Amino acid sequence: AEGGGGRRAPFLLRALRIAVVVCLYWFTSIAMVFLNKYLLDSPSLRLDAPLFVTFFQCALTAALCLGLSVGAACGPPCAGLPTLRLDPKVSRSVLPLSAVFIGMVTSNNLCLKHVGVAFYNVGRSLTTVFNVLLSYLLLKQTTSLYALLACGVIIGGFWLGVDQEGAEGTLSWTGIFFGILASLCVSLNAIYTKKVLPVVDGSIWRLTFYNNVNACVLFFPLMVLLGEFRTLYHFDKLGSPSFWGMMTLGGVFGFAIGYVTGLQIKFTSPLTHNVSGTAKACAQTVLAVIYFEETKSFLWWTSNLMVLGGSFAYTWVKGLEMRKVQEDPSVKSGERNETGV
């Protein structure tokens, strides 16, 4: 009985730790989406400068990385973080990834600006489909029939969602375009990250820093080109502490999401993280419908369930395939790497 009790305590502690990490991921991710929606498209704020909002979040992320790196030299609680120095040569090597990164964060925010939070998950749901497509085109990796069927369900859910948004009169083709672009950029970002990581000695921390510094530099000409500095000059809340408070909070959540995502993967697994992300998207959609007091049709909810169900099925199929590869001793290590294990 003692042995059982001794085993139970660590299990409970482990389960509690996982529950806390998953809740932290859910809270950070959902709060970030709602905060960004307010900053990008609030009728009370009326700020039409999506690139500036994204630029500010990138600048704050770079500053926080640098601040924590300086803190690492002083010992706990930042001990273990690498020292950050801006090396122009490394910065140039990271530049192709930074261009994809800019496309990802900008299109994500522009999608959120033009569509409702409730539809946001469906609007940018094609990441899994692009993962399969780009894996075949760039890496020559094939995908199983069951995984392709799951992708088919996601595409069906996406088109049904677009159709239902149109039927309700809330469809934004601009939002749909940026949603598809965001899905493509998220997929490309994952592929380029793997390629660029060796340049920063495999440190995600260093990569985050260089990515955001590069993004800040690249955003400047884009903001000039789109006249966002003129928009900011005429913005009536530029001197408001509450506006800058919300901007800073949005930036902190943007910085934190990378950390809590890493935590969730560390304490669970990449597959469990995907399942958690799918469940979080479901909760986010329901919360948005309640918060914005929206009424949605049965087919609209069906489209969401198709996207979520397809994403879950794809994750489940991939999980089974990876387990089979791990358990089958006849599978060569090269093939094992191809399946992502």
- pLDDT beyond 90 at 150: yes
Report the interhelical angle of 88-114 vs 50-72 (nearest 10°). 140
186: Cα separation from own chain's centroid: 8
Residue 255 backbone dihedrals phi, psi, to 5 degrees: -70, -40
Classify residue 339: in a domain, yes or no: no
Burial of 15 from C-beta contacts in 10 A (0-12 / 13-18 / 19+): exposed
What's the domain count of the chain?
Answer: 1
Classify residue 332: in a domain, yes or no: no
> Alpha helices, DSSP H only, in the chain?
2-41, 50-72, 88-114, 117-123, 127-139, 145-167, 173-196, 204-225, 228-233, 241-267, 270-291, 298-327, 333-338
Report pTM: 0.86
- Domain limits for position 62: 14-324
Classify residue 8: in a domain, yes or no: no
Predicted confidence at residue 114, as pLDDT, reads 96
Classify residue 214: in a domain, yes or no: yes
Classify residue 334: in a domain, yes or no: no
Confidence of residue 78 (pLDDT cuts 50, 70, 90): low
Confidence of residue 79 (pLDDT cuts 50, 70, 90): low
Classify residue 116: in a domain, yes or no: yes
Classify residue 106: in a domain, yes or no: yes
Classify residue 333: in a domain, yes or no: no
pLDDT in tens, 219-255: 999 999 999 999 999 999 999 999 999 999 999 999 9
pLDDT in tens, 95-106: 999 999 999 999
Contact 123, 115 (CB under 8 A): yes
